[in-house]
Amino acid sequence: MSDEMELSKAYEPQEVEKRWYEAWLEQGCFTADPHSEKEGYSIVIPPPNVTGILHLGHVLNNTIQDVLARRARQEGKEVLWLPGTDHAGIATQTKVERQIRDEEGTTRRDLGREAFLERVWNWKEKHGGIIIKQLKRLGCSCDWSRERFTMDEDYSEWVSHVFSELFKQGLIYRGKRMVNWCPVSLTALSDEEVIMKAQRSKLFYMKYEVVDAPGEFIEIATTRPETLMGDVAVAVTPKDERWGKYVGRTVRRPFPEAEIPVIADEHVDPEFGTGALKITPAHDKADFEIGVRNNLEIIDTLHPDGTMNLPDMPEFDGLDRFVARRKAAAKLEEMGLLLKVEEYENNVGYSERADVPIEPRISMQWFLKYPAVDEAKAAVADGDISYRPERWAKTYAHWLENIQDWCISRQLWWGHRIPVWYRAEQVAQLKDAESLTLADMESGQIHVGEEAPSEGEWVRDDDVLDTWFSSWLWPFATMTKLGEESPELKKFYPTNDLVTGPDIIFFWVARMVMAGFHFKGELPFRNVFFTSIIRDIKGRKMSKSLGNSPDPIDLMDKYGADGLRFGLLRTAPVGSDVRFDESLVEEGRNFANKLYNACRLRLMAGGTVAQSLPEVSKLRPYHLDVLQKCDRMAENLTLAYSEYRFNELGSLLYEFLWSEFCDRFLEAVKKDLRADDGSESKAVTLAVFDQIMQRYLQALHPFMPHLTEELSSRMGYVDKGVFLMNEVLPGEPLLADVPDRVSRAEVVYEVAGRLRNLKAEYQLATRKDVRFVVKNAVDWLAEEADVLALLVGAEKVEIDQDFVVNKGTPTAVTNAGEFVLPLDGLIDVDAEKNRLSKEISKVEKEVEKSLKKLQNPKFVENAKPEVVAVEKDRHATWLEKLKQLRELHAALDAE
């Protein structure tokens, strides 16, 4: 081989990965050709937030996508992996607002809308590409020439068009409704943006006096005494024996003092608290519905930021809601109306972004009645879209069965501004209208569209659309301009695979299915793979506060991108959480080194690259065995790919190289590799090595793209200027017909393992001067005796049917014969017996200790079943160990 094919002693991944990624980009290897005659394959990237930086979840998700894209190229397909980022309305606006507050001491309202949005765009241009650069560092083979952003001009046209069309179809309306309100971000949230968290709260028991019966009280339990200033009624179930007699009468609200009615409503749970419920329609969804049914007044006691709005009660006005809670309880106690306070566990809704308790709030919002719900249900139920793991199909179906109208408006400035215009002379009246529908547009009161009408003065709606309203169009709006049928859309839509997290199955996946059917008349993708959640080794979620969330860039600096990719994927089972430990990535790096060193060994052996295998008749069992297993690996990889079992793919690749190729095959042919260049045995072995390694590097490429590209080039397995990533997988196996003698190799490997264990039992593992004598040997063993001796680390394996075996001589009966290990001159028998006696004594103590534990009724009856089971296993292990030691000691006694 030439000097260009030499490999340095150590593999340096950083330099290799940088060089190859730049080469791929320079040659346009990732750019999809929509005019290609090849079969199309496409994935759209789940667009990360433009504010985002790479975390381990991104690494797992995008590595899986890259594996699928690279494999599709190997299958001869034209691949489009379309990347992009999401404008992330709340997250991005919050970052920029914090920046101008900290650096300039000002607010967005001080700047004004246009100036603030200019600041956001500047921030996006400066910081928005960080995660894209990090994905490139990971080796992602996205078509970066088609990178999209949800606020691109072409994409924004789609968003406005879709809003307009849905409004004209009567599916979008505006109305005053109870919504989830974030008091930090000061915007409405959809139900999917609210995270329910278990909380240790307090349940306050208080009493309201019956107006026409002084001294009589209705007892009420609530977790929110700070809202009692907005109470407009007390509700009980109609047949409540305790409180039913008060229905139709009034009670006295403590402060501000007022008489409020006692009403009957079936919604009230008689088992909760006292069975009587204070009704505050402005601050609870259930109370709001009761208020509507009973035509009750609505009193809003909170400002949008969660502070109290009580100008008539100065002692409460402006207080934080939680401070007001404590003050209201103290005031009730002072008035003698607080009965008791109990600890109480309940679920509280938190804003997903701001991580604060949300407030149910009545406000004017835009809503969407979901389109194509039936089609979306049928697509998954009928198998047109496959979910992996399958259990997520039930979660998806349940949500669609219980779907609620989507609150699509947000009280933000950063985002797609709602394309609705009001006549300037009527703007105040129209903004306060109880509802706006298609009829208002048809009457000319409002206009829906990206541009205002040319005649008259118009004022645009202040709100923007929910970020997810733009991303539900992602699969098709990224591929074509509005009003066009681009070649990309024709070639690559619907997409093939979607890889995403189950946490956005409602936010994004289900909505994309509905949008695909409604706007394109077909499903947007065929397969959805939901990735695992990555937790730390203790099972905790990754978080900066816990300090258990390593930076992927640091890991790549330390172990290489390929090491991180392979280490993470090999331990990511379908449908189960991943327990992350840095040692997994270290194993990925070690695996890369193992492969690198194997190839380096081949280069050191010299010779030219073999273009084909020798005749089968020239192949020894070890050649045949490893070739057969390489073919079997390829078949199993194909099956695992079809079932999206990525951890199994990793295990197949790992086990073949480490165990079958390196630990077995290379050890068996070590003498061949060291032979003279003219040796036929060496030529045959090098040819087998080359043919297998070419295929193996190709099989491994989707997982470790940089290393495999480097080795294929340096080994001469691809022509100069040719990329491994573009090579199509071979269609034929290495061995079409496998001779029977292939089975000898497996027998030799198994026997070698038995004999190495026999050496170790007598502390002879490192001794090379041992010999084995074989009786009753199979007829072919003489041909393989030298290889067996090499694998065992023995001086020789000698076949001698007449060998006299002294009583007690170590023996192993195998499928290849009865192997005897003469100990003459190898060990000091007395010293070995003494060592074994001490070891037996230690193990006997462990057996006795374990037995006492198992015979103790308190332990067996009180310990957890799994703990008892572990102890039983431990006892059985010690017994087996004791048996083996005694047999070894007895054998020495017989010497």
The strand pair at 172-182 and 435-436 is best described as antiparallel
- Which amino acid is residue 698, in one-letter code? Q
Residue 33 has pLDDT above 90, yes or no: yes
DSSP-assigned states of every residue in 722-774: --GGGPPPPSS-S-SS--GGGHHHHHHHHHHHHHHHHHHHTT-TT-S--EEEE
Taking the C-alpha atoms of residue 821 and residue 805, their distance in angstroms, rounded to an integer, is 9
Domain residue ranges in the chain: 197-349, 558-738, 743-820, 829-893
Q: Which residues pair with 785 in a beta bridge?
A: none
- Which amino acid is residue 373, in one-letter code? V
Residue 793 has pLDDT above 70, yes or no: yes
Q: Are 74 and 698 in contact (CB under 8 A)?
A: yes
| Mean pLDDT comparison of 16-30, 241-255, 339-353, highest-scoring range | 16-30
Longest dimension (CA), the chain: 116
Taking the C-alpha atoms of residue 621 and residue 618, their distance in angstroms, rounded to an integer, is 10
pLDDT bin (cut points 50, 70, 90) of residue 323 is: very high
Can you give the length of the chain in residues?
Answer: 895
Tell which residue, 674, 715, 721, has the closest CA to residue 693.
715
Helix (H, G, I), strand (E, B) or coil at 504: helix
The predicted pLDDT at position 235 comes to: 95
- Residues in Cβ contact with 44 at an 8 Å cutoff, skipping those fewer than 6 apart: 82, 84, 474, 475, 478, 495, 498
Average pLDDT over residues 405-432: 91
Q: Are 633 and 641 in contact (CB under 8 A)?
A: no
- Give me the percent of the chain exceeding a pLDDT of 70: 97
> What are the φ and ψ backbone dihedral angles of 388, each rounded to 5 degrees?
-135, 120
- Give me the percent of the chain exceeding a pLDDT of 90: 74
Tell me, rounded to whole angstroms, the distance of Cα 886 from its chain centroid. 51
Average pLDDT over residues 723-740: 95
Taking the C-alpha atoms of residue 529 and residue 516, their distance in angstroms, rounded to an integer, is 18
Ranking 111-120, 551-560, 717-726, 875-884 by mean pLDDT, the lowest is: 875-884
Taking the C-alpha atoms of residue 159 and residue 142, their distance in angstroms, rounded to an integer, is 24
Q: In what order do the strands lie in the sheet with 458-460?
A: 446-448, 420-423, 458-460
Mean pLDDT of the chain: 92
**Known binding positions:** 544
| Vertex 654 angle, CA 577 and 590, to 5° | 90
DSSP-assigned states of every residue in 466-499: -HHHHHTTHHHHTTS-TT---HHHHHH-SEEEEE
CATH of domain 197-349: 3.90.740.10
**Known binding positions for ATP:** 544
Residue 4 has pLDDT above 70, yes or no: no
Taking the C-alpha atoms of residue 60 and residue 365, their distance in angstroms, rounded to an integer, is 37
The predicted pLDDT at position 1 comes to: 45
Reported CATH class of domain 558-738: mainly alpha
CATH of domain 829-893: 1.10.287.380
Q: Are 167 and 392 in contact (CB under 8 A)?
A: no
Q: What is the dihedral of CA 561, 60, 376, 373, to 10 degrees?
A: -110
Q: In what order do the strands lie in the sheet with 796-799?
A: 796-799, 771-775, 817-820, 811-814
Residue 402, class by beta-carbon neighbours within 10 Å (0-12 exposed, 13-18 middle, 19+ buried)?
exposed
Distances (CA, A) of 779 to 506, 690, 748, 812: 67, 32, 13, 18
pTM: predicted TM-score of the whole model, two decimal places: 0.86
Average pLDDT over residues 591-599: 97
pLDDT bin (cut points 50, 70, 90) of residue 2 is: very low
Distances (CA, A) of 610 to 206, 606, 667, 761: 89, 11, 21, 43
Residue 122 has pLDDT above 80, yes or no: yes
Average pLDDT over residues 138-157: 97
Average pLDDT over residues 49-56: 90
Tell which residue, 849, 637, 601, has the closest CA to residue 711.
601
Instruction: Summarize pLDDT for 601-656 with one digit per residue, the tens.
Output: 999 998 889 889 999 999 999 999 999 999 999 999 999 999 999 999 999 999 99
